[in-house]
Amino acid sequence: MARHKAFTTTIAAALLLATSLAATQELSDLVENEIESTISDGIEDQLDTQTIDAVERQVEDTVISQAEQQVEASVDAEVSGQVEGQVEAQVESQVEGNVTGQVEAGVEQQLTGSIEASAETQLESQLTQQVESAVSGQLEAGLEQQLTGSVEAGAELQVEGALIEQVEAGVVADIRADAEGAGVAVGADTHAQADNPGAGSGTAAVDTRLRTEVNDDGERVERGVWVLLVPDAHAAHINRWGFNVRTRRALSSLGMQVVRVDALENRALSQVALQLALNAPGTVVDYNHVYGTDTGTGRADVKAETCSADSIAPVPLLPPPAAAAPDGETLRIGMIDSAVDTTHPALADARIAQDDFVGHELERPTAHGTAIASLLVGQTPERTGVLPGAHLHAASVVFRDAAGAIGATTDSLLAALDWQRAQGVNIVNMSLSGPANRALEAALDQLAGNGMTVVAAVGNNGPAGAPLYPAAYASVVGVTAVDACRQVFRYANRGDHIVFSALGVDVSVADAAGGYRRESGTSLAAPYVAGLIAAVHSAHREAPYTVIERLKATAMNLGNPGVDPVYGYGLVRAPLVLAPRAAGSEPGVEHQRDDVF
């Protein structure tokens, strides 16, 4: 019984335990299910939230992107339309302007040509009538005196016709030049081109349209013209350089050509000079500068009555007619100046070879050249030149323009220098002065290297005047003027380029109008120095450089000790008695000639 009760109690406890275990299991299952449900719901909620957020962002990005693309496309279309409209408007405006300009230019050119042709025809017709009337009257009045003997009617008509043609050509050319200077093209453009070998006539191709002006540097130049000095090696390329060539001349002794061209309006001269120097070595370009003669204003007062020009005036270095140098060679000296009146009594017996290098149909004055020639080779009652009987090579380069101004252009100087060299001249006098010029400097340097000495007047622009050329070039002997009291000419230039002083005040010279006159200026001093160098060089076979150094050493000092900018080395004096020596003998020295120069 007791066992049974205990068993029963055990069973009950077991059942209770089982029931408790079952309940616990059930509770555990419930809890697990609840947890799973809660977690599952949370995960689903979280996933739903993330999914919704992602979808919303994607949708938002898509919408924003599409909206931006639409706005961009709309803006681009609007801008493109506006830009295209503006570009089309500008292009249409430019095209319309260009077409209008070309049409207007073409119409204007046709109308101008037609009007000018008609005007020129009428003008020439009127001029022909006027000229024929004037020339006929002059011929009727003067032919009887000018023609000797009986003149056939046919010959008279030929002379009259030739004169009419010449006058008409000159008048029409002047009118054409004036019209062109005003910007109107009249008739055909006939730029002459000529080659001159330098051994024959110096007459260049004629260009009647010479007009001068003052450039930005205050220099007198030929209007609208540049000068090129071109080595023969590059001469064939001139036409490729884009220049309109007016004239060209071969300088045979220099191995170069001098070419006049129209100035380029769209290029600076300095730029063109640099480009030519790089592409065609040895080629130089510059303005066609105009140079003037260097005489003063007539007689100048001397400072003391006791001073006499005769006290320092040069005496003939070779007594007339002793013009033969040693070994029978003729003493030659050159002169580049105006034309010379060889009919003047002072020059009637002189040996003068003269050639013209002006190159323009302008008046050739003779006053200055005649005066200088008389100082070199003249024989006058008042004074004999420093080299009487010598052979003078006179190159005419000076013109007088329509306004009465006298000048000589760079291209004429270059041609004249080449001719002097071709004639075998070693000493050349240039009583001219003007601005610095690259082409002239290059030619003078080359000639100096080949043994030619150029003596030039320093100019009459006064003590404060800027250096003038060619005297201021290192290769040239610059000469100033002094009066009878050995005082410098009041209008003479100053500078370190002055080498010698010589008498140039109140000097007697041959007058182209006949007779003699007294004149002052550095022009009149230069011939004394040129003549002395030529005489020593010829008589003693000394190189010009050696002669110049000898003259420096024997010059009479007039200013500060040594060389100074007023007198240079001083008053030039002949160091030797200059007389032809016997063939084969050595140069001799008899005594100093302190009374000369």
pLDDT tens, residue by residue, 187-196: 223 223 333 3
Tell me: the pLDDT tens digits for 311-354? 555 545 444 434 444 444 578 999 999 999 999 999 999 999 99
- Predicted pLDDT of residue 481: 96
Q: What is the mean pLDDT of residues 456-478?
A: 97
Q: With a cut of 50, say whether residue 175 has pLDDT above it.
A: no
Q: With a cut of 80, say whether residue 34 has pLDDT above it.
A: no
**For the chain, how are helix, strand and coil distributed in percent, rounded to 5?**
45, 20, 35
Our CA dihedral for 457, 461, 465, 466, rounded to 10 degrees, sits at -50
- Predicted pLDDT of residue 307: 67
| Tokens 């689903």, residue located | 44
Q: How far apart are CA 411 and CA 250, in angstroms?
A: 11
Q: How far apart are CA 495 and CA 298, in angstroms?
A: 24
Cross-strand bridge partners of residue 24:
none
Tell me: the pLDDT tens digits for 275-313? 999 999 999 999 999 999 866 544 444 444 456 555 555
Are 596 and 314 in contact by the 8 Å Cβ rule? The answer is yes
**AA letter at 46:** Q
- Predicted pLDDT of residue 61: 65
- Predicted pLDDT of residue 164: 36
| Tokens 């004999």, residue located | 384
**AA letter at 187:** G
Tell me: the pLDDT tens digits for 67-111? 556 645 554 555 455 545 553 555 355 535 553 455 344 434 543
Q: With a cut of 50, say whether residue 209 has pLDDT above it.
A: yes
- Predicted pLDDT of residue 456: 98
Which domains does the chain carry?
212-292 (3.30.70)
Which pTM value belongs to this model? 0.63
Element counts in the chain: helices (H) and strands (E): 8, 17
Q: How far apart are CA 556 and CA 492, in angstroms?
A: 19
Q: How far apart are CA 333 and CA 266, in angstroms?
A: 44
- Predicted pLDDT of residue 379: 85
Q: How far apart are CA 595 and CA 597, in angstroms?
A: 7
Closest C-alpha to 129, from 137, 141, 119, 117: 137
Using DSSP bridges, classify how beta strands 212-214 and 332-337 pair: parallel, antiparallel or unpaired.
unpaired
In 496-588, which ranges are continuous DSSP H helix? 526-540, 544-554
- Predicted pLDDT of residue 163: 39
Cα-Cα-Cα-Cα dihedral sign, residues 359, 361, 365, 370? positive
* Gap between the terminal Cα atoms of the chain: 187
The H-or-E segment that residue 440 falls in is helix 438-449
Strongest mean pLDDT among 4-13, 34-43, 260-269: 260-269
CB atoms under 10 Å from CB of 580, counted, come to: 17
How high is the mean pLDDT of the chain?
Answer: 73
The tokens for 305 are: 């009555």
Q: How far apart are CA 124 and CA 120, in angstroms?
A: 6
- Predicted pLDDT of residue 586: 42
The tokens for 189 are: 């453009």
Q: What percent of the chain has pLDDT over 70?
A: 55
Q: What is the mean pLDDT of residues 420-428?
A: 96
- Predicted pLDDT of residue 544: 87
Cα-Cα-Cα-Cα dihedral sign, residues 498, 502, 507, 509? negative
More confident residue, 520 or 84: 520
Q: What is the mean pLDDT of residues 19-44?
A: 58
Closest C-alpha to 179, from 240, 124, 234: 124
Closest C-alpha to 580, from 321, 314, 374: 321
More confident residue, 585 or 424: 424
- Predicted pLDDT of residue 591: 35
Going by pLDDT thresholds of 50, 70 and 90, the confidence category of residue 514 is confident
- Predicted pLDDT of residue 495: 96
Q: With a cut of 60, say whether residue 371 has pLDDT above it.
A: yes
Q: How far apart are CA 514 and CA 367, in angstroms?
A: 10
Q: Which residues, other chains included, contact 485 with Cβ-Cβ below 8 Å and sequence gap of 6+?
A: 302, 303, 304, 307
CB atoms under 10 Å from CB of 281, counted, come to: 10
**b/e code 542-556 from CB counts within 10 Å (16+ = b):** bebeebbebbeebbe
Are 489 and 505 in contact by the 8 Å Cβ rule? The answer is yes
